[in-house]
């Protein structure tokens, strides 16, 4: 561990660009060995990790978005089958509906679950 380089230490802990920002703020040479990083600098690193603040100045374009909001109104589907209340035999699932969750698996979970339920419901109607 003590022969490990600073950059290698940050690999896996942080995304590359963020690791670069931290390294720049602390003014550490990325190829410095961990054993050569002074106790003061280690303390600064810990403090920075606890107190790091940044201002969000904008978002990326729609093409880079992770979830889409604004599909069909959820009140227009039967929540037990995901069949449209307006058009018979039409099933709306996932992001076709106006549902979006925080990042962390909720959107995929909803897409799969609603798709499964809609598929089962449609098959039962045959
Ligand atoms: C970069 C990125 C990262 C993400 N990370 C996460 C994450 O970590 N966790 C999470 O929960 N969610 C994540 N999401 C969101 C998640 O992927 C979506 O919410 C989910 O895939 C929506 O599923 P869906 O079936 O509704 O739509 P989609 O997965 O978009 O499926 C729609 C399908 O329909 C096809 N299609 C479109 N038009 C037509 C047409 N006319 N004819 C035939 N086929 C058509 C498309 O090609 C596509 O395959 C991420 C999304 C992106 C873009």
How many other C-beta atoms can be found within 10 angstroms of the C-beta atom of residue 92?
21
Q: Same structural domain for residues 84 and 121?
A: yes
Report which protein residue has its CA nearest ligand 1's atom 2.
66
Q: Which of 95, 99, 112 to mutate to test the pocket of ligand 1 (most atoms within 8 A of CB)?
A: 95
Q: pTM (2 decimals)?
A: 0.74
Candidate of 61, 63, 67, 116 to mutate for ligand 1, largest count of ligand atoms within 8 Å of Cβ: 67
1 is a domain residue:
no
Same domain, 69 and 18: no
In tens digits, what is the pLDDT along the chain, a chain of 126 residues?
668 899 899 987 899 999 999 999 999 998 999 999 999 999 999 999 999 998 999 999 989 988 888 999 999 999 999 999 999 999 999 999 999 998 889 999 999 999 999 999 999 987
CA distance 58 to 38: 36
**Which residue range(s) make up the domain with 67?**
62-125
Residue 67 and residue 92 in one domain: yes
Which of 107, 99, 105, 102 has its CA nearest to residue 82?
A: 99
In a domain, 17, yes or no: yes
For ligand 1, atom 30, the nearest C-alpha belongs to: 95
Which DSSP string corresponds to 17-32? HHHHHHHHHHT--TT-
The domain total for the chain is 2
């Amino acid at each position: 561990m003590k022969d490990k380089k600073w950059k290698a230490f940050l690999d896996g802990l942080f995304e590359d660009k963020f690791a670069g920002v931290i390294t720049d703020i602390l003014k550490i040479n990325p190829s410095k060995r961990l054993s050569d990083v002074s106790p003061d600098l280690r303390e600064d690193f810990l403090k920075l990790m606890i107190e790091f603040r940044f201002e969000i100045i904008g978002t990326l374009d729609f093409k880079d978005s992770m979830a889409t909001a604004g599909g069909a109104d959820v009140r227009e589907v039967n929540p037990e089958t995901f069949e449209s209340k307006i058009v018979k035999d039409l099933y709306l699932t996932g992001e076709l509906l106006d549902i979006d969750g925080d990042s962390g698996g909720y959107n995929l979970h909803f897409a799969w679950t609603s798709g499964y339920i809609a598929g089962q419901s449609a098959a039962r109607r045959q």
